[in-house]
Amino acid sequence: GAVVSQHPSRVICKSGTSVKIECRSLDFQATTMFWYRQFPKKSLMLMATSNEGSKATYEQGVEKDKFLINHASLTLSTLTVTSAHPEDSSFYICSASQGGLSSYEQYFGPGTRLTVT
Amino acid sequence: AQSVTQPDIHITVSEGASLELRCNYSYGATPYLFWYVQSPGQGLQLLLKYFSGDTLVQGIKGFEAEFKRSQSSFNLRKPSVHWSDAAEYFCAVGNAGNMLTFGGGTRLMVKP
């Protein structure tokens, strides 16, 4: 149980275009979803937290107009990288939390490798 | 603010040897502690977690961790390492706001 998927697993896009990454909780309802960014050989950096039906809360230094997050349902959150640039190339990982007694545990997706050329 | 320190960036052990990965945290209240493992190009897999109760926690793949409040530590151990354990290991602390703070990670390499 508690499986989280991400799509696509890899994407290559040209500079200036936008890319959407989907994060789905497959067998549970996720009241909260998180988006992380991971640079090579580095730890995970939290970008934003989103609750279903609410606006995402962005961490300091993360451009909300560049990284658009939508959490339209209890099983789906999307991250759209707008007007992507090579410096946006990274590994993006989402996680989902069920809430309630399990709210302290996050279930992670397999990640999406974004390369901007 | 909460923080997590993993003092060892890289660790190399021989297959069959014991392993201990260190994790120290800073958090004002009772911490919720996690260990995750990440294989190259993959997401994170939960190894074990501590919320309350017994301070020695058993996880998957033969791993265990011990919560020591007096030392603010949550070290991960395994009595006999397998080559398939080579990966990146992350310690994390969670708060009541459901947010995780990760340590910098420890890369484990296993010698045959």
Question: For B4-35, what is each residue's pLDDT tens digit?
Answer: 999 999 999 999 999 999 999 998 777 899 99
Task: Give contacts of A43 with chain B, Cβ < 8 Å.
Answer: 90, 102-105
Task: Give contacts of B98 with chain A, Cβ < 8 Å.
Answer: 32, 49, 97, 103-104, 106
Average pLDDT for residues B38-60, to the nearest whole number? 91
Q: How close, in Å, is residue B80 to chain A by CA atoms? A: 25
Average pLDDT for residues B44-73, to the nearest whole number? 94
Using the Cβ of A110 and the Cβ atoms of chain B, whether some distance falls under 8 Å is answered with: yes
The mean of the pLDDT values for chain B is 92
Average pLDDT for residues B52-73, to the nearest whole number? 94
Task: Give contacts of B32 with chain A, Cβ < 8 Å.
Answer: 104
- pLDDT the model gives residue A40: 83
> Cα separation of B42 and A87, whole Å?
21
- pLDDT the model gives residue B40: 85
pLDDT of B41 strictly over 90 = no
Tokens, residue A7: 């799509």
Confidence of residue B97 (pLDDT cuts 50, 70, 90): low
DSSP-based three-state secondary structure for B62: helix
- pLDDT the model gives residue A52: 83
Using 50 as the pLDDT threshold, list the residues of chain A that sit under it.
none
Q: A80: closest CA among A19, A28, A37?
A: A19
- pLDDT the model gives residue B85: 97
Confidence of residue B96 (pLDDT cuts 50, 70, 90): low
Chain B residues at the A interface, defined by Cβ less than 8 Å, are 32, 34, 36, 41-46, 49, 51, 90, 94, 98-100, 102-105, 107
> Cα separation of A88 and B61, whole Å?
35
How many CA atoms, within 13 angstroms, populate the side-chain half-sphere of residue A114?
30
pLDDT of B98 strictly over 80 = no
- pLDDT the model gives residue A79: 97
User: DSSP character for A101?
Assistant: G
Please give the share of chain B, as a percent, with pLDDT higher than 70. 97
Contact of A107 with A75, CB cutoff 8 Å: no
Burial of B86 (0-12, 13-18, 19+ CB in 10 A): middle
- pLDDT the model gives residue B22: 98
Minimum Cα–Cα distance from A42: chain B residue: B104
